[in-house]
């Protein structure tokens, strides 16, 4: 039994609720059992094997990607490139949007997959 706000619920009821919520969040609601949610999750985790256009990123975005990959903060990047911090933030936002990622870890992983960074990208 699992304790919830207004009493107790059986473990299977909680599991059903979790699966249903996951289904709503991932868009697999209505699929059979948990297999639909499991399949959606595994698809999300697997890397994409897409071809990338050489001109997908602007030269400035490539430069910012390189600086992010060696661990610079937005302020440090702004100082190096002699631009405002807000401009760096906009470039990073556009870069992440073009590569369809949500955080720096995903950005670096995606850039490596697409060959946008050298294998030794962390070397300063």
Per residue in 7-49, pLDDT tens?
565 666 656 665 666 666 656 555 455 455 555 545 554 445 4
Task: Say which CATH number the domain at 69 has.
Answer: 1.10.10.10
In 33-98, which ranges are continuous DSSP H helix?
35-45, 59-69, 74-81, 85-98
6/10: higher pLDDT: 10
| Domain containing residue 18 | 2-45
- Burial, 28: exposed, middle or buried (Cβ in 10 Å; 0-12, 13-18, 19+)? buried
Q: Is the pLDDT of residue 107 over 50?
A: yes
Radius of gyration of the chain (CA): 21
Same domain, 39 and 11: yes
Q: Say what the pLDDT of residue 28 is.
A: 55
User: Among candidates 10, 11, 112, which has minimal Cα distance to 65?
Assistant: 112
Q: Quick check: is 124 in a domain?
A: no
Same domain, 100 and 65: yes
Same domain, 14 and 38: yes
Same domain, 65 and 41: no
User: Among candidates 83, 36, 46, 30, which has minimal Cα distance to 61?
Assistant: 83
Q: Say what the pLDDT of residue 46 is.
A: 47
Q: Say what the pLDDT of residue 65 is.
A: 94
Q: List Cβ neighbours of 1 (8 Å cut-off, separation of 6 or more).
A: 8, 9, 10, 11
Per residue in 70-89, pLDDT tens?
999 999 999 999 999 999 99
**What span, in angstroms and rounded, lies between the C-alpha atoms of 34 and 70?**
40
User: Among candidates 103, 115, 9, 5, which has minimal Cα distance to 54?
Assistant: 115
């Amino acid at each position: 039994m699992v304790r919830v706000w207004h009493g107790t619920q059986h473990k299977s009821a909680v599991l059903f609720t979790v699966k249903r919520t996951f289904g709503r969040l991932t868009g697999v609601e209505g699929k059979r059992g948990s297999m639909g949610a499991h399949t959606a999750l595994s698809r999300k985790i697997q890397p994409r094997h897409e071809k990338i256009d050489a001109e997908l990123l602007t030269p400035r975005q490539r430069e910012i990607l390189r600086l992010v990959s060696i661990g610079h903060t937005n302020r440090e990047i702004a100082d190096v490139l002699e631009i405002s911090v807000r401009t760096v933030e906009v470039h990073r936002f556009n870069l992440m949007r073009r590569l369809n990622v949500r955080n720096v870890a995903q950005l670096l992983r995606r850039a490596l997959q697409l060959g946008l960074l050298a294998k030794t990208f962390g070397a300063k």
